[in-house]
């Protein structure tokens, strides 16, 4: 997988746009402000319809992103939250959640994202998020980001991700 643009965010379903915004905000937080991961995820996923379920989903989303950051096979590349491009790593993230019902496909995607010892953990978190998302219906085009990624000029604190544009 590469950072090449593989699509446009406007072509995504509302739920995919919702997850993509959360992924981008979390990846940015991990790159520039690792301590801000929870704040970034909560800002994007804070509009959960059921607070108890939303808390569970946010906890698993944070853990999933931390797993990717710690055990990633390579640097995950992502775009800024408002960017209309869909990168290959971002598409793989979305496919992981979309293919949770197909164990072999989800397993293969997880192996591309993280080292083998982290695959079960990644899949566990992804399955909880997928179950939650099956019940959620975010509005198309809604933006919630209260956490904004700092400038590319700021030196990243971790090699977990690379913001493209």
Burial of residue 141 (CB within 10 Å: 0-12, 13-18, 19+) is exposed
Q: Tell me what the mean pLDDT of segment 38-59 comes to.
A: 72
33: left (phi over 0), alpha (psi -120 to 50) or beta: beta
H helices then E strands: how many in the chain?
6, 4
pLDDT at 47: 63
pLDDT at 121: 96
pLDDT tens digits for 24-38?
A: 988 888 887 777 777
pLDDT tens digits for 58-74?
A: 889 889 999 998 999 88
Q: CA 14, CA 11: separation in Å to the nearest integer?
A: 9
pLDDT tens digits for 84-95?
A: 999 988 998 898
pLDDT at 52: 53
As given in the structure block, the two tokens for residue 143 are 């933006």
As given in the structure block, the two tokens for residue 22 are 């959360």
* 33, 48, 79 from 51: Cα distances, Å: 26, 6, 29
Contact 1, 125 (CB under 8 A): no
Q: CA 126, CA 129: separation in Å to the nearest integer?
A: 5
Angle (CA) 99 97 148, round 5°: 155
Residue 12's pLDDT band, with cuts at 50, 70 and 90, is very high
Residue 132 CB neighbour total at 10 angstroms: 21
- In residues, how long is the chain? 165
pTM, two decimal places: 0.76
Residue 104's pLDDT band, with cuts at 50, 70 and 90, is confident
Q: Tell me what the mean pLDDT of segment 145-159 comes to.
A: 41
């Amino acid at each position: 997988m590469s950072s090449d643009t593989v699509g446009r965010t406007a072509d995504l379903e509302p739920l995919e746009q919702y997850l993509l915004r959360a992924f981008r905000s979390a990846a940015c937080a991990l790159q520039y402000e690792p301590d801000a991961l929870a704040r970034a995820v909560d800002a994007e996923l804070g509009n959960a319809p059921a607070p108890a379920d939303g808390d569970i989903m946010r906890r698993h989303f944070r853990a999933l992103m931390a797993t990717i950051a710690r055990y990633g096979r390579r640097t995950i590349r992502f775009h800024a939250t408002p960017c209309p491009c869909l990168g290959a790593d971002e598409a793989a993230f979305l496919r992981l959640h979309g293919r949770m019902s197909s164990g072999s496909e989800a397993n293969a995607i997880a192996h591309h994202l993280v080292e083998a010892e982290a695959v079960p953990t990644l899949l566990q978190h992804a399955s909880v998020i997928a179950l939650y998302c099956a019940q959620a219906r975010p509005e198309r085009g809604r933006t919630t980001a209260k956490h904004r990624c700092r400038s590319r000029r700021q030196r990243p604190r971790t090699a977990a991700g690379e913001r493209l544009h």
